[in-house]
Amino acid sequence: MSKFLPFCLAAVAIGPWTLRADPTNEQQYWLELINQARRDPVGELSRLVDYDSPTTFASPASNNSDIAQALDFFGVSASDLAAQWSTLTAAPPLAWSNALANSAQSYSQLMVSSDQQSHTLDGLSYDQRVAAGGYSLNYLDVGENLYANSKSVAYAHAGFLIDWGDSDSNPNNGFGNGIQGDLGHRLNLYEAAFKEIGLGIVRTGIPGGNVNAIGPDVITQHLANQFREVNGELVVDAILTGVVYADAILANHFYTPGEGLGGVAVRVFDDVTNDLLFATATNSAGGFNIDLLGVTDGQQLRIEVPGFGVDRQYFTVNSYTTDPLVYGEEVKFFDNLYAGFVVAPEPSGAAMLLLAGLILRCRRRRFCFDKGRCFR
């Protein structure tokens, strides 16, 4: 039996309805980018960079000029990046956490006011930091990625995943292969055990005299998971996350800020019994998160967005149990699920639908060891 209290608070539930606070449109967009990368790591590399051959970048190396410039500045090795990327495996999606967003936003602001990029500015450990933002004390893993001089969300997304920087801190060879040696930012974002994420972005009020935290975007990512105790067993519940949007701005089959539809009903049924299990409404950015408390391994679920004529989506609940050496005892993880719904607006209703609508990384593991090895 765990020595920790059997308590978990992740959402406010009223009857079958589960609500969470809203991310901004841009935060929802970044969440979509991250979850796209987690479910399709092979495709993500081709979205980030362009190759002429398996060992050579194209010229330019990216269709984003800022990313291409960073790849060139750090001398990122195309062959090493491809070789490292080939070892990545798909991971379940991350759900939005307002508590983690609170702690991430506060820490980004602290970097601005301190004019430093560091994991130790407030004197707190990572778990204490996210707890101060309201996250559960029943955590298992906590991760933190920092970027104090990012040029945009897309730039930070690429920087964290490619993990550009100095590979070995050897002043005699430039930046080595241009990829940070421990790959910590990338590994945080592909860690299957993480369940939730919060994104803190500060781009206004940055003093012109700052020399370290200069932006234009000062960014913190907080990632974590939490458990509850069920009959003496530690359980990390599944979360259904996703978005409902009208693909009307770029028409690229991907969420764009401003396309999200708020207030749309999302319902979860047991596909065998047809019982309604959970329901929610999308937030103002079009996203949704539902804690799937009490689902069982192999249970068949059906997700519906009624009233829009979109296809139902079907899932089978999956779980796995960790080795006792990982956390000090066995933990049963239920994988998160993702459902994205694209609504095609009628011409007369389009406007109405739209209106509805150098880096650091640290990680801490609760039971066994501290994964907080960082580099400046």
Whose tokens are 């003093």? That residue is 207
214 touches 150 (CB < 8 A)? no
pLDDT tens track for 245-276: 999 999 999 999 999 999 999 999 999 999 99
Instruction: Give residue 128's pLDDT.
Output: 96
Q: Which residue has the higher pLDDT, 375 or 302?
A: 302
* Of the candidate ranges 37-41, 62-66, 173-177, 283-287, the one whose mean pLDDT is the lowest: 173-177
Question: Quick check: 130 pLDDT over 60?
Answer: yes
Instruction: Give residue 168's pLDDT.
Output: 87
Determine which helix (DSSP H) or strand (DSSP E) holds 187, and give its type and residue range: helix 184-190
Instruction: Give residue 277's pLDDT.
Output: 98
Instruction: Give residue 353's pLDDT.
Output: 40
- Residue from 35, 77, 278, 282 nearest 173 by CA: 77
Supply the mean pLDDT for the chain.
88
Question: Quick check: 146 pLDDT over 70?
Answer: yes
pTM over 0.85, yes/no: yes
The token pair at 252 is 């690229």
Determine what percent of the chain is predicted with pLDDT higher than 70: 86
80 touches 4 (CB < 8 A)? no
pLDDT tens track for 213-245: 999 999 999 999 999 999 999 999 999 999 999
Instruction: Give residue 366's pLDDT.
Output: 54
pLDDT tens track for 147-199: 999 999 999 999 999 999 999 888 888 899 999 999 999 999 999 999 999 99
Instruction: Give residue 22's pLDDT.
Output: 87
Confidence tier at 361 by pLDDT (50, 70, 90): low
Instruction: Give residue 2's pLDDT.
Output: 27
Q: What are phi and psi for residue 19, nearest 5 degrees? A: -125, 145
Instruction: Give residue 362's pLDDT.
Output: 59
344-354 b/e (C-beta count within 10 Å ≥ 16 → b): ebeeeeeeebb
Q: Which residue has the higher pLDDT, 296 or 13?
A: 296
Q: In the chain, what is the straight-line distance between the N-terminal and C-terminal CA atoms, in Å?
A: 40
If you average pLDDT over residues 347-352, what whole number do you get? 39
Instruction: Locate the DSSP E strands across 23-87.
Output: 51-53, 56-57
Question: Quick check: 372 pLDDT over 50?
Answer: no
If you average pLDDT over residues 68-78, what whole number do you get? 98
Instruction: Give residue 17's pLDDT.
Output: 33
Instruction: Give residue 212's pLDDT.
Output: 96
Instruction: Give residue 174's pLDDT.
Output: 86
28: Cα separation from own chain's centroid = 10
CA distance 361 to 375: 8
Question: Quick check: 103 pLDDT over 50?
Answer: yes
Instruction: Give residue 352's pLDDT.
Output: 38
